[in-house]
Structure 1
């Protein structure tokens, strides 16, 4: 998550929409805040299934 702002800024500077990335990154932030930092990148499916 440390590089999230840089990643989003670079995406936008390259003319790529961050529209789909923002919700995913928010789910990542929620999971990390809940102590799930050791999981793989598919964990948002678990959050959406709840």
Structure 2
């Protein structure tokens, strides 16, 4: 998760781009959890079906 925190902090990735790294049923190879996404971005993680 540390890499993704740094990448977001230095604006190497946007919150939308970071969604790709979240582990979900549709993306079992993600690297961070929805909770970690929220910790990094301060935004709730919503799947495309929820949005």
Task: Report if TM-score (shorter chain) is over 0.5.
Answer: no
Larger radius of gyration: 1
Higher helix proportion: 1
Does 1 or 2 have the higher relative contact order (CA < 8 Å, sep 6+)? 1
TM-score, normalization by structure 2: 0.30
